Amino acid sequence: MVSIGNLTVGGTGKTPAACMLAEWALDEKYSVAVLSRGYGGRYKTKTLEVSDGQNIYAGPAEAGDEPYLLARKLPGVPVIISKKRYLAGALAHKKFGINFYILDDGFQHLDLERDLDLVLMDGSDPFGNGHLLPWGPLREPVDQLERADAFIITRAHHGVTGDDLTGFLKKRFPDKPLFLSDHAPERIIFPNKSETYDPEFLRGKPVVAFAGIARPEVFIETLKNLGVELVFFRAFEDHHIFKHNEIHDLINKKERLRANYLLTTEKDWVRMENFAHECPELAYLTIKFIFFSARNKFFRMVKERSGESRKSAFGMRK
């Protein structure tokens, strides 16, 4: 079992990392499943099979937007959620014979054994103001990073801050592997028109954009780096459930400002698929997880720590 987690609430890019790891494991011929808590989902059962790897059985309202997004992006990978993730894993093991478990957002879920604890940190803002919830974004003190097996700095292109974080981690935890990564724009998808373009398609074009994610400023920066002419942006709270009037207002804003397109994130799109017909120029941006270096070293570490010899090692910590 490989846990992907973080020390702060939201915004480090666990979902792209989980997709990257699951796709690698499939290529390596593992039988893979993602176990998640299903944050924000309204499910009432002890476990919920979001996907069996072939079919999706629960939408974002029931399962939570992130498990649903993972189910959409990972054909061949069951996604199972439970507030007690041991139950999700037990179901995956019994029904699918899983030998490679990805524990989504698992750093604080201490009950389950894991072969590898990966902690993601945003290179531009790793610890916020340094305070614990509710006065800051930290779920637990920074010294708890000692429990991690390896660190992944996401958005590591953010200059001085990322460099400072690298130095801090190497000094404080010198024996733990450290990897640098980024989230790269992948595709622009117009779902109503079934059209897909490279991100460069947006360069120089006027766009109205919106997002309901933990750090909307990151989406803004991504668009500006793509050369988008961002004429208006609206931020919503993380996991926001969009209403018809809100989408209608954004469409009107696009028309008044004579923007070419209305753009959002893929994570937001899964919560508003029903609005696709409202605007043919509505599109979403997908991103992919990439390593800057040491990619082969990372996957060697994963393979060594979660090999075939441990395929039945699913259980609770003693």
| DSSP structural state of residue 10 | S
According to the model, what pLDDT value does residue 275 have? 80
According to the model, what pLDDT value does residue 312 have? 45
Cα 27 to chain centroid distance, Å, stands at 20
Closest CA to 126 of 157, 178, 161: 161
According to the model, what pLDDT value does residue 185 have? 96
Domain 184-287 -> CATH class? alpha beta
According to the model, what pLDDT value does residue 273 have? 81
Closest CA to 271 of 63, 71, 60: 60
Residues 315, 318: Cα–Cα separation, whole Å:
9
Per-residue pLDDT of the chain (318 residues; tens, 9 = 90+): 999 999 998 778 899 999 999 999 999 999 999 999 998 899 999 999 999 999 999 999 999 999 999 999 999 999 999 999 999 999 999 999 999 999 999 998 888 889 999 999 998 889 988 899 999 999 999 999 999 999 999 988 754 455 688 889 999 999 999 999 999 999 999 998 899 999 999 999 999 999 999 899 999 999 999 999 999 999 999 989 999 999 999 999 999 999 999 999 999 999 988 887 888 999 999 999 999 989 999 999 999 998 644 444 455 553
Instruction: Tell me if domain 2-182+290-310 and domain 184-287 are identical in fold.
Output: yes
Give residue for tokens 């988008």: 228
Q: Which amino acid is at 101?
A: Y
Residues 247, 278: Cα–Cα separation, whole Å:
8
Burial of 98 (0-12, 13-18, 19+ CB in 10 A): buried
According to the model, what pLDDT value does residue 109 have? 85
- Tokens linked to 154: 């996401």
Residues 180, 270: Cα–Cα separation, whole Å:
28
Residues 18, 103: Cα–Cα separation, whole Å:
9
Q: Give the N- to C-terminal CA distance of the chain in Å, as an integer.
A: 16
What residues does each domain of the chain span? 2-182+290-310, 184-287
Residues 6+ apart with CB under 8 A from 176: 148, 149, 150, 151, 169
According to the model, what pLDDT value does residue 295 have? 94
In CATH terms, 2-182+290-310 corresponds, of 3.40.430.10, 3.40.50.460, 3.40.50.300, 3.40.640.10, to: 3.40.50.300
**pTM over 0.85, yes/no:** yes
According to the model, what pLDDT value does residue 24 have? 97
